[in-house]
Each structure stands twice: as structure tokens, then as C-alpha cells.
């Protein structure tokens, strides 16, 4: 069992509209899998199918190599995009109730909840009503409810929307910790910031089709262009530029720096190594910045979506 979840050619139509067109993804066990794509791509629809809320028109889903069954629901922790908590219920009553629905005894639920409320420093929310909480606060509660029964597969739909940067970081750290503890995590997002730090694997959906999938590092390798961003200090900039242009494929670079340096992007040929470039530069100027330009998840997202 290498894969936690596989979807095979899953399709879903709403009337004449195709929300998913033969989408196949493979989520390796123990990975953090980013289900990426612009708004309306079909991410939530696929997640709802995995959670057996919606039935696919065709295709199949395997959880731990088994076709999806109703008893699998308890193996999945799901944070929906539409966060629903009972507004007039008190936080404590509500989380205890939801934890028991997931099969925990009241005593066990209490113990685990105490741990989480302490960890998130929200002990004093216990007797508040949900409607008294801000969106971010309610989302923290819902995150706890999602992970409390320690399911082996966690699915978070847009988990960072509604959080300020501090709380988004808190959730990021928790997601990394959950992977450490052996869980597999799928999270859907249309925003790429979190992807770099979190994802081992990604799939990119666009207009109901999967257009890219794989290990993030492998994809980055495919998209990299052997270009180095350099910052150089010299007392004769015009001369230096000329020397470099004569030997390399160079263009102006744009990045922020505290120095008044000459900023260039230098694209190397197959036969040239970064050491060759560095040696050349150090013999002609003071090198204060040297950085391989690796495409970000955002670059890849934009480029791939445009090409489709």
C-alpha cells in the first residue's frame, strides 16, 4: 500500500456543465498533496466525491487500495470549504458533540480537546457561543474537530482562507506535524503561498481537467531554465556589463537589495556550470548575490494554466 488515495478517471457533470473531466490523481501515503487550481477548477467537487457527499458520474476512487465504501468516512478528516458550525451552540458543547459523532467516547474527547485548546491557547472560548467568534476563531475550532479523531487521511479545503498570517502559520505547522505523525494530507487551494513550504506532491486542475501532477521538486526541475540571478559591485559598470554580455546570455534582473549593485539574470548553456560562472564573475567584480532562479509554484501554476 503505497498510495493513500487514488482517483481513476473521475468525471462529474452538473446538467450540461462538466465539473470534472476524467480526473485521475495519486496521493502517496504520508505525503502532503496540494490540489491546486484557479477558482471553479473542480477542486471542491473532487473533494466532495472523495468524501462521498457527491457521487461521480463515472470513474472510481480507491482509499488504501480499496474501492470507496461508506465505512471509509470515519478514516477521513474533512474540513469543508463552507464551514458549518451551529451558531447558537456553545463551543464546548459543540466540539464534544462532534467528537462523539466521530466515535470518540466523551471522556476521550474531553482529554484530547483539552490538549488542543491548551495548544491553541483558546481555553477561555469553551463557554462562548459560536456566533460570538470571528471567522478565524471559528475556523480554528473546526480545524480541531477535523483532526481530533486522528484519521489517517486529512482533507482540508482552502484551509488558509479567513486566517491572518499568524494563524495561517499555526495551521501550517500543525499540518506538518500531522504528516510527521504519519497522516496523509490533501489540501485544496487557489493560492500558492502555502504550497512551497508544505507540498510534497501537487496536482493542478484547470477548467475541470488535470493538467499537471507530480512531486513538486521534479516539476520544478522540469521547469527550471539554468538561470542564475547575480548582484555585482564594480566601479565600472558599463565595462563589466560588456565583458559579461560578450560571454554569457544575460538580461537585467529585478530583485530588491540594499546595495547599489548591477543585477543580472544569466542563463547558462548545458555545457556551462554554476562554478564556471562564479569563477568568471569573481575575477571581474565583487559578487554580493548569487542565486539559482528556481520557478516558484506560482510561476508554474501561471505558466501551465496559460499554456492550456
Residue ranges in contact with Mg ion by CB under 5 A: 43-44, 81
129: DSSP letter: B
User: Partners of 212 in the beta sheet?
Assistant: 204
Nearest to Mg ion of 43, 149 (CB atom): 43
We find the least distance from the C-beta atom of residue 102 to Mg ion, in angstroms, to be 23
* SS3 per-residue string spanning 167-229: HHHHHHHHHHHHHHCCCEEEEEECCCHHHHHHCCEEEEEECCEEEEEEEHHHHHHHHCCCEEE
Residues binding ligand ADP: number (CB under 6 A): 11
Q: Whose Cβ is closer to Mg ion: residue 46's or residue 232's? A: 46
Pick one of Mg ion, ligand ADP, none as the site partner of residue 42 (Cβ within 5 to 8 A by kind). ligand ADP
Which of 226, 149, 213, 217 minimizes the C-alpha distance to 186? 213
Assess 45 for contact with ligand ADP (CB under 6 A).
yes
Q: Which does 289 bind (CB under 5 to 8 A by kind): ligand ADP, Mg ion, none?
A: none
Q: Which stretch in 25-33, 36-44, 133-141, 193-201 sits in contact with ligand ADP by CB under 6 A?
A: 36-44
13 bridge partner residues: 18
204 binds ligand ADP (CB under 6 A): no
Nearer to ligand ADP, 43 or 149 (CB): 43
Q: Which does 86 bind (CB under 5 to 8 A by kind): ligand ADP, Mg ion, none?
A: none
Burial class of residue 10, CB neighbours in 10 A (0-12, 13-18, 19+): buried
Q: Which residues pair with 210 in a beta bridge?
A: 205
- Phi-psi domain of 15 (left: phi exceeds 0; alpha: psi -120 through 50; beta: other): left
Asked if 289 and 231 touch (Cβ cutoff 8 Å), the reply is yes
Distance CA 185, CA 175 (A): 8
Q: Does 10 bind ligand ADP (CB under 6 A)?
A: no
Q: Which does 10 bind (CB under 5 to 8 A by kind): Mg ion, ligand ADP, none?
A: none
Q: Given the rule CB under 6 A, which of 34-42, 110-118, 244-252, 299-307 is the region that contacts ligand ADP? A: 34-42
> Could you say which of 44, 139, 184, 194 contacts ligand ADP (CB under 6 A)?
44
- Span from 42-50, 85-93, 118-126, 296-304 in contact with ligand ADP (CB under 6 A): 42-50
> Binder to ligand ADP among 40, 59, 92, 214 (CB under 6 A)?
40
Sign of CA dihedral 148, 153, 159, 165: positive
What cell was used for 117? 485548546
* Start-end of H helices in the chain: 43-50, 91-101, 106-119, 135-147, 165-180, 193-198, 216-223, 237-247, 274-282, 297-307
The entry of ligand ADP, Mg ion, none that residue 139 binds, CB within 5 to 8 Å by partner kind = none
**Is residue 37 within the footprint of ligand ADP (CB under 6 A)?**
yes
Interacting residue ranges for ligand ADP, rule: CB under 6 A: 14, 17, 19, 37, 39-45
Amino acid at each position: 500500500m503505497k498510495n493513500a488515495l487514488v482517483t481513476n478517471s473521475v468525471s462529474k457533470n452538473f446538467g450540461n456543465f462538466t465539473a470534472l473531466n476524467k480526473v485521475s490523481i495519486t496521493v502517496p501515503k504520508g505525503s502532503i498533496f496540494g490540489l491546486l487550481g484557479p477558482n471553479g477548477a473542480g477542486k471542491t467537487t473532487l473533494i466532495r466525491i472523495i468524501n462521498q457527499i457527491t457521487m461521480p458520474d463515472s470513474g472510481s476512487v480507491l482509499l488504501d487500495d480499496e474501492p470507496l465504501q461508506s465505512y471509509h468516512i470515519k478514516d477521513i478528516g474533512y474540513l469543508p470549504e463552507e464551514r458549518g458550525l451551529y451558531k447558537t451552540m456553545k463551543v464546548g458543547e459543540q466540539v464534544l458533540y462532534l467528537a462523539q459523532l466521530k466515535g470518540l467516547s466523551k471522556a476521550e474527547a474531553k482529554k484530547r480537546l483539552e490538549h488542543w485548546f491548551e495548544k491553541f491557547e483558546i481555553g477561555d472560548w469553551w463557554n462562548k457561543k459560536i456566533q460570538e467568534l470571528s471567522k478565524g476563531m471559528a475556523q480554528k475550532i473546526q480545524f480541531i474537530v477535523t483532526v481530533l479523531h486522528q484519521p489517517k487521511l486529512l482533507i482540508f479545503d482552502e484551509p488558509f482562507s479567513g486566517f491572518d498570517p499568524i494563524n495561517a502559520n499555526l495551521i501550517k505547522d500543525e499540518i506538518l506535524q500531522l504528516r510527521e505523525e504519519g497522516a496523509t494530507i490533501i489540501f485544496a487551494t487557489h493560492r500558492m503561498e502555502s504550497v512551497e513550504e508544505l507540498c510534497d506532491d501537487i496536482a493542478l486542475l484547470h477548467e475541470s481537467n488535470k493538467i499537471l501532477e507530480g512531486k513538486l521538486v521534479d516539476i520544478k526541475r522540469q521547469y527550471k531554465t539554468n538561470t542564475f540571478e547575480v548582484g555585482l559591485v564594480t566601479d565600472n559598470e558599463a565595462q563589466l556589463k560588456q565583458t559579461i554580455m560578450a560571454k554569457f546570455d544575460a538580461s537585467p534582473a529585478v530583485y530588491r537589495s540594499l546595495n547599489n549593485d548591477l543585477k543580472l539574470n544569466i542563463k547558462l548553456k548545458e555545457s556551462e556550470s554554476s562554478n564556471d560562472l562564479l569563477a568568471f564573475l569573481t575575477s571581474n567584480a565583487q559578487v554580493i548575490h548569487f542565486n539559482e532562479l528556481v520557478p516558484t509554484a506560482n510561476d508554474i501554476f501561471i505558466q501551465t494554466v496559460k499554456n492550456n
